């Protein structure tokens, strides 16, 4: 292992300059954190982000290092004396973060870190000799593949670490240590004090993993999820009737599982769909991640929409209520406008593909109107619907109906990507053409006519400007009658 560490450590640019500077200033400097962790887990450095713990004089040390390497100094935290030096090298940006010991020495510092897997240290002045400091048993935890708290004070010191335990477990495919699970349960309510943007950052790290379902399920079993998404509590235990085999919440979890399974087994093999899912919506968050979130939230309006009629449980309008709740959640998590709109659209329209699939072959008009209404969210809504239906296996459903639904959904997806590659139709008329021919002033009627002409053109019912204007005259005459 030491030879592997030595090989990887040699790859860190300017490490000898840090060693020389530390010796000149008579300071203790240690390489700590993610770099060492990644070498143990992946066998190599994953990112050009390097963390160092310094015995004292962090700001002066960082400033001198920055001058030596031509970097840019950024003070991250004046109180904690955390400083970053950003260096551009071979068209890449390298981050060197320096922080003062949290405690009297490196041992106290390591014991105050979040998890044992982040508590390794390597003394720079001993290089090229490799001497790993492991005072908390991190190397054993790497072998056991577990996330374990560095101390019982880890979560009270920073409650966000509760979510970080899950995001790290998702990233490394580790399990959370049993004692750490107990500490999570004990401290989970502290999450209410954490800023929304910090919560969403960890949540989307979980959605970026291919095993999100298992992590979300674990969060739910430890009652963490309902602390950050209290709107899910009324979904638990809410029966949905004979079309469903699970309550509203378990169905939502199953929808996420079905979506991830669909991605793994089928969708990522399709070039068009894979590229679509990997499109960035905002802040490195992809369509894929937002569909996962919408799987959990698509039926969130059902508890408030529930009514009993003729001994049946109904949820009329739950998609509208769900859209409003998604807005509340988005605001709490400080999501961007684009992310909020994405969630709201998916929840509002998630039933629409099912209506199309109720017939063996939807009409061209119905298909056109679906794509017109759902716009850039069309494929995401179709994939959510597909997962939703796969997660619905009550006694009144049938595999034949599900297969029929899937045929329609994939046909619509193929239509979408086919149209995307085609040259868009040139508009036959504009508002001015209509006003001139009909001898009318600007009014909502113009917009209505343009929408209807566009639809008829797409369906091949109108092909020329003359046909469009003639149709408009007939339409207006009929309307007056």
The Cα angle at residue 131 between residues 127 and 132, in degrees rounded to 5: 125
Q: Comparing 58-62, 377-381, 434-438, which segment has the lowest mean pLDDT? A: 434-438
Torsion sign, CA atoms 413, 417, 420, 423 = negative
Query: What pLDDT does residue 234 have?
Result: 96
Domain range annotation of the chain: 2-144, 145-228, 262-421, 431-480
Res. 146: pLDDT tops 90: yes
Q: Comparing 70-74, 169-173, 221-225, 241-245, which segment has the lowest mean pLDDT? A: 241-245
Measure the CA–CA gap between 445 and 431, rounded to whole angstroms. Answer: 10
Locate the DSSP E strands across 41-162. Answer: 49-54, 72-77, 82-89, 92-100, 121-123, 132-133, 146-147
Residue 317: name the closest of 305, 326, 329, 308 by CA: 305
Res. 90: pLDDT tops 60: yes
Strands 312-314 and 307-309 turn out to be antiparallel
User: Average pLDDT, stretch 304-320?
Assistant: 89
The neighbouring-strand residues paired with 72 are: 86
User: Average pLDDT, stretch 214-243?
Assistant: 94
User: Average pLDDT, stretch 461-478?
Assistant: 87
Q: Tell me the percentage of the chain whose pLDDT exceeds 90.
A: 71
Res. 335: pLDDT tops 90: yes
Measure the CA–CA gap between 363 and 382, rounded to whole angstroms. Answer: 17
Q: What is the mean pLDDT of the chain?
A: 93
Res. 348: pLDDT tops 80: yes
Query: What pLDDT does residue 127 have?
Result: 87
User: Average pLDDT, stretch 416-445?
Assistant: 86
Pick the more confident residue, 133 or 311.
133
At the fourth CATH level, the homologous superfamily of domain 2-144 is: Beta Polymerase, domain 2 (3.30.460.10)
Confidence of residue 80 (pLDDT cuts 50, 70, 90): low
Q: Comparing 4-8, 182-186, 423-427, which segment has the lowest mean pLDDT? A: 423-427
Question: Which fold, 145-228?
Answer: Hydrophobic Seed Protein (1.10.110)
Query: What pLDDT does residue 79 have?
Result: 66
The Cα angle at residue 84 between residues 28 and 11, in degrees rounded to 5: 70
- Other residues' Cβ atoms within 10 Å of the Cβ of residue 361: 11
Pick the more confident residue, 423 or 204.
204
Q: Tell me the percentage of the chain whose pLDDT exceeds 70.
A: 99
Measure the CA–CA gap between 82 and 89, rounded to whole angstroms. Answer: 22
Q: DSSP labels for 320-352? A: HHHHHHHHHHHHHTT--HHHHHHHHHHHHHTTH
The neighbouring-strand residues paired with 86 are: 72, 95
Q: Assign 45 to helix, strand or coil.
A: coil
Query: What pLDDT does residue 395 have?
Result: 84
Measure the CA–CA gap between 461 and 452, rounded to whole angstroms. Answer: 11
Highest mean pLDDT: which of 239-253, 259-273, 299-313?
259-273
Residue 29: name the closest of 73, 6, 5, 61 by CA: 61
Measure the CA–CA gap between 438 and 433, rounded to whole angstroms. Answer: 8
Query: What pLDDT does residue 330 have?
Result: 97
Pick the more confident residue, 359 or 176.
176
User: Average pLDDT, stretch 32-44?
Assistant: 95
């Amino acid at each position: 292992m030491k030879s592997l560490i030595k090989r990887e450590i040699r790859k860190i640019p300017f490490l000898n300059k840090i060693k020389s500077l530390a010796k000149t200033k008579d300071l203790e400097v240690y390489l700590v954190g993610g770099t060492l962790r990644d070498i143990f887990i992946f066998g190599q450095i994953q990112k050009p982000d390097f963390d160092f713990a310094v015995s004292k004089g962090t700001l002066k040390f960082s400033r001198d290092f920055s001058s030596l390497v031509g970097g840019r100094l950024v003070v991250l935290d004046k109180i904690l004396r955390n400083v970053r030096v950003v260096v551009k090298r071979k068209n890449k940006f390298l981050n060197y973060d320096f922080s003062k010991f949290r405690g009297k020495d490196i041992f106290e510092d390591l014991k105050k870190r979040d998890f044992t897997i982040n508590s390794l240290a390597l003394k720079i002045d001993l290089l090229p000799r490799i001497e790993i400091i492991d005072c908390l048993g991190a190397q054993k935890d790497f072998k056991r593949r577990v996330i374990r708290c560095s101390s019982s004070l880890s979560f009270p010191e920073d409650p966000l670490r509760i979510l970080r335990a899950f995001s790290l477990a998702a990233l490394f495919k580790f399990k959370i240590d049993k004692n750490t699970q107990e500490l999570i349960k004990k401290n989970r309510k502290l999450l209410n004090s954490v800023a929304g943007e910090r919560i969403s950052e960890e949540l989307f790290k979980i959605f970026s993993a291919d095993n999100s379902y298992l992590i979300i399920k674990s969060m739910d079993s430890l009652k963490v999820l309902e602390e950050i998404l209290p709107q899910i509590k009324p979904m638990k235990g809410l029966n949905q009737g004979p079309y469903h085999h699970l309550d509203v919440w378990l169905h939502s979890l199953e929808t996420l599982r079905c979506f991830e399974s669909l991605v793994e087994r089928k969708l990522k093999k399709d070039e068009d769909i894979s590229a679509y899912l990997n499109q960035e919506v905002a802040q490195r968050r992809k369509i894929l991640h937002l569909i996962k979130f919408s799987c959990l939230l698509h039926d969130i309006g059902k508890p408030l929409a529930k009514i009993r009629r003729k001994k049946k449980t109904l949820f009329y309008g739950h998609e509208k209520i769900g859209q409003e709740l998604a807005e509340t959640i988005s605001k709490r998590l400080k999501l961007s406008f684009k992310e909020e709109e994405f969630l709201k659209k998916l929840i509002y329209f998630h039933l629409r593909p099912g209506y199309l699939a109720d017939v063996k072959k939807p009409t061209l008009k119905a298909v056109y109107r679906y794509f017109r209404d759902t716009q850039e969210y069309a494929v995401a809504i179709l994939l959510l619907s597909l997962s939703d239906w796969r997660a619905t296996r009550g006694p009144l459903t049938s595999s034949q109906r599900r297969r029929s639904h899937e045929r329609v959904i994939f046909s619509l997806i193929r239509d979408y990507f086919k149209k995307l590659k085609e040259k868009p139709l040139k508009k036959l008329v504009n508002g001015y053409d209509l006003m001139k021919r009909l001898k009318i002033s600007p009014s909502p009627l113009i917009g209505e006519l343009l929408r209807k002409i566009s639809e008829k053109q797409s369906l091949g019912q109108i092909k020329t400007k003359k046909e469009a204007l003639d149709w408009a005259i007939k339409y207006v005459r009929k309307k007056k009658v």
